[in-house]
A and B are shown apart, each in its own frame.
Chain A
Amino acid sequence: MSLATLLVLADGRLPSGGHAHSGGLEPQVSAGRVRDLAAVAEFLRGKLATTGLVAAAFAAAACDRPARSPGLDEGFDARTPSPALRKASRAQGRALLRAARAMWSLPPVGRDPHQPVALGVVAAAAGLTPLEAAVAAAHGTVSGTASAAVRLLGLDPYAVHGLLARLAPECDRIAADAAARAEDPIDDLPAAGAPLLDVGAELHATWEVRLFAS
């Protein structure tokens, strides 16, 4: 375990393409559902409790046993009904692997695994634990979206980072829950869904002009 290594992996400046994605926020801003800081806070809370928990669990499970990643990848597919979100997740997984290959020695893993599965495999290669992989996944779920909120809504970046600080204990709790279940059968891993993220991603994918890829 290395805290500095965890910071390197979880750093928003890691060149893995995360900045191109709004985590589902852009279509909800466009629909008029998210206009202010309070709505961003509720969006982040809901996202963390659903797709954040799932990402943390799959990252922890892939870190625990990287050899299980093909099955985990299928399990993540089954939890991602939106084809636009499957595509976005695989693109981010591929970009993360590309960056990570220059950083650590990775075991064989599919070409474009889902992002949380890739994150778990990379975390294991970096010598991190499943809990650390889960923390990085949970935090990454909300931090990318928070910075997208600043750009989409012109919010005060200090206030948005205040939200992230207040969500940190919840990220820790979710990561601990996810890591405790890392060895569960894949069907028993968390599967918390967020219907508006699915529906919004499908609508967003049809736009000709958009700021973010997803």
Chain B
Amino acid sequence: MKASSRVVAEPDGLGGTRLAVLRSESPLLLRRTGPTMVHLVGGGAGPLRGDDLRLEVEVAPGATLEIRSVAAQLTLPGRAHLPQSRLTIHATVGGTLRWLPEPLIAAAGCDHVTVTCVEVLPGGSVLWRDDLVCGRHGEDAGDFRAETTIRYAGRTLYRHDLSIGPSAPGWSGAAVLGGGRALGTVVAVPGTLLPPPTSGPGDFAVMPLAGPGALATAVGADIRPVRAALDPLTRPVLIHS
């Protein structure tokens, strides 16, 4: 399945935000759920092998947008002869963007890559959260790879790939996830959107990046400790329309 969805948020000239473009194709359906809120609504199973999905997000200076999803994204095997499924997300942010979707669950046998590129313009602000669960309950993880690039003012601030599953050597060893089955990260630009640097309790740390940003990482046996660590950092804020 091929799909391309796009949302463009602009200032409405009255101090609020209007969605100049909200175009979506199944299974990447975007629904406006509030003045500055859009939800991703799954319009089909998957992603499945062979899917090629693309999401474009633009938030102009002066505009605010929060993107959430109504349910976890469950990556599934699909037909073995098809290429790996792929989701490409490209965001350009001059205003304020909060990306807070439900977790991605890498089901056994899946082969999926998510490529994320976020360009933050000078003065823009982003909170970018990704949660991952390695397999459904009692199930091994499939192959999943995340390739994430976050740039600020034309320079690469954060470049991070993560591979899990049978094709990723040592991913469940103590260097990578250490038997943990869930991982969550929040990248913040500027870094002051996160609390000051800290580590613990558990496998959790808030780290200042080398440039103007910060990263919070939490690893857990399941998604609960990850949520307990990261949810307070991404609490809904009151956004005036």
Interface positions of A (Cβ within 8 A of B): 24, 28, 31, 33-34, 39, 41-51, 74-75, 77-83, 86, 170, 186-187, 190-200, 202-203, 205-206
Tell me, yes or no, whether B125 is within 8 Å of chain A by CB.
no
The residues of A that contact B210 with a CB separation of less than 8 Å are 74, 77-78, 80, 86
Q: Do B169 and A48 touch (CB < 8 A)? A: yes
Q: Sample 22 A-B pairs with CB under 8 A, ordered by A number.
A: A31-B174, A44-B170, A45-B169, A45-B170, A46-B174, A47-B170, A47-B175, A49-B169, A78-B159, A81-B158, A81-B160, A193-B162, A194-B175, A195-B176, A196-B176, A196-B203, A199-B218, A199-B219, A202-B197, A202-B205, A203-B200, A206-B199
What are the residues of chain A within 8 A of B155 when measuring CB–CB?
74
CA gap between A55 and B113 in the complex, in Å: 23
State how many angstroms separate the Cβ of B166 from the closest Cβ of chain A: 13
Taking a contact as CB atoms under 8 Å apart, the answer to whether A196 and B156 are in contact is no
Q: B159, A197: Cβ atoms under 8 Å?
A: no
Q: Which residues of chain B are near A34, meaning CB under 8 Å?
A: 174
Given A75-B159, A193-B161, A187-B149 contact (CB < 8 Å) = yes
Answer whether residue B128 sits at the interface, using C-beta atoms and an 8 A cutoff.
no
Does B199 lie within 8 Å of A202, measured CB to CB?
A: yes
Count of B interface residues, CB-CB < 8 Å: 41
Q: Give Cα A83 to B205, complex, Å.
A: 11
The 4 A-B pairs with the shortest beta carbon distances in the complex, nearest first, are A46-B170, A42-B173, A45-B170, A77-B210
Nearest-Cβ distance from residue B133 to partner chain A, whole angstroms = 14
Contact A194 B176 (CB under 8 A): yes
CA distance A205 to B208 in the complex (A): 14
Classify the interface of chain B: helix, strand, loop or mixed.
strand
- Chain A residues with CB under 8 A of B170: 42-50
In whole angstroms, how far apart are the Cα atoms of A126 and B162 in the complex?
A: 34
Chain B residue, CB-CB nearest to A38:
B173
User: Chain A binding site: helix, strand, loop or mixed by DSSP?
Assistant: helix
CA distance A58 to B204 in the complex (A): 28
B174 close to A75 (CB less than 8 A): no
Binding site for A on B (CB under 8 A): 147, 149, 155-163, 168-180, 183, 185, 197, 199-200, 203-205, 207-211, 215, 217-219
In the assembly, what is the distance between CA of A68 and CA of B203, in Å? 36
Kindly report which residue of chain A lies nearest to residue B132, judged by CB atoms. A195
With A48-B169, A82-B207, A196-B174 known as contacts, the answer to whether A191 contacts B147 (CB < 8 A) is yes
Taking a contact as CB atoms under 8 Å apart, the answer to whether B176 and A79 are in contact is no
Bound-complex Cα distance A28 to B207 (A): 18
Q: B184 — nearest CB in chain A belongs to which residue?
A: A195
**A198 touching B157 by the CB < 8 A rule?**
no
In the complex, chain B residues whose CB is within 8 Å of the CB of A206: 199
Closest to A204 in B: B199
A192 CA to B147 CA in the complex, in Å? 9
Kindly report which residue of chain A lies nearest to residue B170, judged by CB atoms. A46
Extra contacts, 12 of them, besides A45-B173, A74-B155, A78-B210 (Cβ < 8 A), are A42-B170, A43-B175, A45-B169, A46-B172, A46-B173, A46-B176, A49-B163, A78-B157, A78-B209, A83-B207, A86-B210, A194-B175
